[in-house]
Amino acid sequence: MSPPECIGLFSITDREYQEDARNVAYLCDPFPKLPIDLNQGIENVIRKKPATMSDLEYLLKYIKSHQKEFLVMKGDTIQLNTDFVALRGVLRLIMCLQYERRQDLRIMVTRANGTIYLNKEETEEQLAEQAAMSNRHLAMCSWGFKFEQYLTTAKPCADPDTNVPVNEGVELCAMFRSNINGIRLLYGAEWTYLN
């Protein structure tokens, strides 16, 4: 297996694809003194909007914007120079499937011009669970975002601002290339911060 190579970044803001790294955050040093209040401002959290497209579509937009980096001629056809395109989370789910028996997993697979595209689709049971989340469960989901807010800033060497509402709809995605036994992977993964 080759080490993953980061080949680019893009942002997602309120479910909109942005061809830049506007949502980059920088790790702050020194870390805050403990304890920290993960409930601070919890009533003002800006929740992520409902999905209007699949996560794979963001990767496809990135590929479309960077076609020259990915397209190759193979015979008389133009192909992507990769075997699989997916999110890192989908690859992790597949690799852990034999160890996790708790839930059903639905992965949509499409093969086009020699490349296989993988996309996780929520099952009816998973959608129902998400719709029925209690306020406590929603708060617990927000704690991770608040924790990140204590440790990161929008500008290098700045102090974190934990007084602004947590915005769960702001994401930074990194695109990676890797190779496993000759199988070429192109995948996206959410990136929390740069150091």
- 3-state secondary structure labels for all residues of the chain: CCCCEEEEEEEEECCEEECCCCCCCEECCCCCCCCCCCCCCHHHCECCCCCCCCHHHHHHHHHHHCHHHHEEEECCEEEECCCEEEEHHHHHHHHHCCCCCCCCCCEEEEEECCEEEEEECCCHHHHHHHHCCCHHHHHHHHHHHHHHHHHEECCCCCCCCCCCCCECCEEEEEEEEEEECCEEEEEEEECCCEC
Q: What are 107's strand-pairing partners?
A: 120
Per-residue pLDDT of the chain (195 residues), as tens digits, is 899 999 999 999 999 999 999 999 999 888 888 999 999 999 999 999 888 888 999 999 999 999 999 988 888 888 899 999 999 999 999 998 888 776 788 999 999 999 999 999 988 988 898 889 999 999 999 999 999 999 999 898 889 999 999 999 999 999 999 999 999 999 999 998 877
Please tell me the total number of residues recorded for the chain in this structure.
Answer: 195
pLDDT at residue number 140: 94
Burial class (CB in 10 A: 0-12, 13-18, 19+), 56: buried
Q: Distance of CA 9 to CAs 59, 62, 139, Å?
A: 10, 9, 29
In the chain, how long is the greatest CA-to-CA distance?
62
* Token pair 């409902």 in the structure block, residue: 50
Q: For residue 66, what pLDDT is reported?
A: 96
In degrees, rounded to 5, the angle at the alpha carbon of residue 98 between the alpha carbons of residues 97 and 100 is: 60
pTM of the model: 0.89
> Which sequence spans correspond to the domains of the chain?
5-190
**Contact of 153 with 26, CB cutoff 8 Å:** yes
* pLDDT on residue 157: 84
CA distance 153 to 5: 25
Whole-number pLDDT of residue 194: 78
Asked whether the bond before 30 is cis by omega within 30 degrees of 0, the reply is: yes
